[in-house]
Amino acid sequence: MTQWDTPAEALASASSATLHEAAGRRGALPSVIGPAFAGARLAGPAFPVASPPGDNLWIHRAVYAAEPGDVLVVDVGGGTEFGYWGEILSTAALARGLAGLVISGGVRDRDALADLGLPVFATGLCIRGTGKDFDAVGSLGERVRIGEVFIERGDLVVGDADGVVVIPRADAEAVVKAGAERDAKEAALMRRIRAGERTLDLYGWQ
């Protein structure tokens, strides 16, 4: 469930790169994590998941433990070369009203994922199958780390064509507001650049 109060229109226009800059260049997930299909974009509160490498049972569990509107953020412990998610899990996530998936491993069924439309961000595509070990240890809703970023339940997750950023829930409103102000300033700068002014002069780098 959302733990910050940010207008939907502000989230709709917020970009991952702008929010990263507005947050003091914090929160960027590894650049290898990107959209599984063109046009994928997500914004919502994080539901962290720790999954054993090569096993997706905890991911199935997460679909039913998360709240509608949540973004599953899954750390697979370095086991990137597996297809943890596909058409079946996207169908289940849509039925549950989830907002999307960010995973530090692979996914499969790209064409089906695109047709379904649930935003999915992953390290890449991989057809290698996963297991279901009922004795394997994982976690739901507890803090995980992906790259240099720690993700807590309720943190703001934004993903687009450029990548994924995670903003701590306590900072989300302020960062989204700062991001909107940054976009407005850049729009004004671009109008001046189109009119013939130089970036070197506008930024004082001459």
Which residues are CB-contacts of 36 (< 8 A; sequence separation ≥ 6)? 107, 110, 113, 114, 120, 121, 122, 125
How do residues 164-175 score in pLDDT, each as one tens digit? 999 999 999 999
CA distances to 29, 62, 101, 157 from 123, rounded to whole Å, are: 11, 19, 12, 16
**DSSP-based three-state secondary structure for 192:** helix
**Which ranges of the chain does DSSP label H, i.e. alpha helix?**
8-13, 16-22, 57-65, 87-96, 110-116, 172-194, 199-202
Fold of 8-202: Glucose Oxidase; domain 1 (3.50.30)
Spell out the domain ranges in the chain.
8-202
- Whole-prediction pTM value? 0.92
CA–centroid distance for 181 within its chain? 22
**pLDDT of 163 higher than 50:** yes
Nearest residue to 49 (alpha-carbon basis) of 175, 199, 186, 157: 157
Q: For 105-143, what is each residue's pLDDT tens digit?
A: 999 999 999 999 999 999 999 999 999 999 999 999 999
Question: Cβ(15)–Cβ(176) under 8 Å?
Answer: no
